[in-house]
Amino acid sequence: MAELPEDIVKTLERYRNPPNKLRSLQEITARYNLTLETYKKICFSSGDVRDQKISTHAEIKILGWVLGKPDKDVIRDIAEHSNRPIFPGQFQ
């Protein structure tokens, strides 16, 4: 049998023993809150920040999904941290 190149062997070894461990609920919640604050800073900054805003919005949605939050609650959190107006009864 032919020898495998060194980088393929290392890649296969990493898949067998992943370097990252699962995050705790507290770590995910902290990251969620930190990302919301980052989103708020991006929304209130000037300039062309559309790409940053989109990627941060996606990260918040994913973290909310990992936490098991309903989509409605995640959208409410995002709206509270943006510069868009919130109308009475909008999230009921």
Q: Where are the domains of the chain?
A: 23-80
Instruction: Report, as an integer, the average pLDDT of 41-61.
Output: 88
pTM: 0.68
pLDDT of residue 20: 64
pLDDT of residue 4: 55
- Highest mean pLDDT (candidates 6-20, 46-60, 72-86): 46-60
Cα–Cα distance measured from residue 74 to residue 78, given in angstroms and rounded to the nearest whole number: 6
Q: What are phi and psi of 47, to 5 degrees?
A: 105, -175
- Band (87; pLDDT cuts 50, 70, 90): low
Cα-based angle 45, 36, 65 (whole degrees, multiple of 5): 140
